[in-house]
Amino acid sequence: MDETTIPASGLKPRISVIGTGYLGATHAAAMAEMGFDVIGVDTDPTKVEALSAGRVPFYEPGLPELIVEHVASGRLRFTSDLADAVATSDVHFICVGTPQRRGSHSANLSYVEAATKAVAEALSHDGLIVGKSTVPVGTAARLRKLVAEAKPEGVEAQVVWNPEFLREAHAVEDTLRPDRIVFGGTDAKSEALLRTVYAEPISTGTPVISCDLATAELVKVSANAFLATKISFINAISELCEVAGADVSVLADALGHDDRIGRKFLNAGLGFGGGCLPKDIRALMYRANELGAGRVVGLMQEVDEINMLQRQRVIDQAIDACGGSVLNRKIAVLGAAFKPDTDDVRDSPALNVAAALHLRGAQVLVMDPEASVTAQRSFPTLSFADTLDEAVTDADVVLLLTEWKIFVTADPEHLAELAANPVVLDARNALDASVWSAAGWEVRPLGGRVVPRQRRVLESAALPA
């Protein structure tokens, strides 16, 4: 890279963020919080208008406040004018989506390719193009060729990769205080520039890993593949625990004390969903198959299948709890999002189970504190409750499918009085079974022993006046 890529001494690089979806909006706001002048670019003028007013089209704790603060400070603005954003910026982060291609497990790279080419064509001075999107290995090398052909003559541009590691519901914190930063394909000048961009987290001890492009591309999908494997492992063990009369939660606690294993992601339950893990492991399988890495394909196939079978296990248990048929039974489904503290319902296990029971003739009523609107768009045939009490009233069985705090900390004695048959299927192993049992509930954890109710609900009602 030419020396002119790095701003004059004492000046911070100006940043453009291409794509203002979940990743891009969060990254743009976090960069502004770190003191940079940031322009977020999106082809959707409605989204640009909303973000400029501090309205975020998804639920992510802390993000709307951060956007409002830095739009007001002048450090953050949003536009549909990519040429203007590129002309006034030095570092260009590519943050567009890579959804699963229709009819295939491969990643749709058309948005990444279009965004990268558009930035290259709009360059008016030397720039650093930084890919953050999750892409199949080999993509960045191809993008380098695309940029070399598309950029104006006399302008220097380099493509490097800096994968994201955001967790939904923790995205702001993960960007401001990441547990690691990966630079792929950098030379001395581009790495120096990226170290300037990430100077704040680096100064607090965040480790930096510099590597080649291919390794950087594989880090995110490999991390997700490992987490998915860990979840599917404990879910496979939970089935053994059920038939053997063991308790998978206690087992997981015991395993977690081994620092080679750790307790995180060892929670047996309904399994993983969302917009990352399922998509990423399938894209990894597809790319590994293309490259002839068959063992990766076989392993991920088994992980994916175990995860999907968890949903059927919960459906079967719900049917069993209703005496062998859910036809005309009222079922309260607590949770629609794929995990708590988000409104993301992509590949949501909770909604998959709810829809399956609805198709079997159950009267399903779903309650979620944040994801009801997005869930209704995806599953318009399902019914949704506004409150927890409404969902549980007259229910023949209650399914805890997303472990929102409002559900886990609810008053079980009050809810037992509302239910027609106080049986709860704890598909996330998040409830204190002894407390719920004492309050009159039969608790059916996934991968554990059924805990019978310790007293009859409303037993005092049978006493004489």
Smallest CA-to-CA distance from 191 within 215, 167, 161 is with 161
Asked about 95 being catalytic, the answer comes back as: no
| pLDDT for the residue numbered 30 | 98
Could you read off the pLDDT of 429-446 as tens digits, one per residue? 999 999 999 999 999 999
| pLDDT for the residue numbered 47 | 96
As a whole number of angstroms, the distance between CA 61 and CA 168 comes to 9
Smallest CA-to-CA distance from 169 within 59, 74, 89, 83 is with 59
Residue 314 CA: distances (Å) to CA of 263, 365, 401, 407: 23, 16, 9, 18
As a whole number, the mean pLDDT across the chain is: 95
The catalytic position among 95, 211, 241, 276 is 276
Percentage of residues in the chain with pLDDT exceeding 70? 95
pLDDT band at 11 (very low <50, low <70, confident <90, very high): confident
Could you read off the pLDDT of 221-263 as tens digits, one per residue? 999 999 999 999 999 999 999 999 999 999 999 999 999 999 9
Q: What is the mean pLDDT of residues 203-215?
A: 98
Characterize the bridge pairing of strands 397-400 and 181-184.
Answer: unpaired
Smallest CA-to-CA distance from 132 within 52, 36, 20, 51 is with 20
Q: Within 13 Å and on the Cβ side, how many CA atoms surround 176?
A: 14
Characterize the bridge pairing of strands 397-400 and 423-426.
Answer: parallel
Smallest CA-to-CA distance from 429 within 183, 190, 249, 211 is with 249
Q: CATH 3.40.50.720 occupies which residues in the chain?
A: 3-210, 313-462
As a whole number of angstroms, the distance between CA 285 and CA 456 comes to 51
Q: Within 13 Å and on the Cβ side, how many CA atoms surround 399?
A: 37
Least confident interval from 41-45, 426-430, 458-462: 458-462
Smallest CA-to-CA distance from 185 within 146, 128, 134, 110 is with 128
Is the per-residue pLDDT at 465 higher than 60?
A: no
Count H helices and E strands in the chain, helices first.
Answer: 19, 14
Could you read off the pLDDT of 271-280 as tens digits, one per residue? 999 999 999 9
105 in Cβ contact with 30 (< 8 Å): no
CATH classification (class only), 313-462? alpha beta
Fold of 3-210: Rossmann fold (3.40.50)
As a whole number of angstroms, the distance between CA 16 and CA 118 comes to 13
As a whole number of angstroms, the distance between CA 198 and CA 93 comes to 13
Amino acid (1-letter code) at residue 266: L
Percentage of residues in the chain with pLDDT exceeding 90? 95
Tokens of 237: 């063990």
| pLDDT for the residue numbered 3 | 39
Reduce the DSSP state of residue 107 to 3 states and report it.
strand
pTM to 2 decimal places: 0.92
Burial 213-223 (b: 16+ CB within 10 A, else e): bebbbbbbbeb
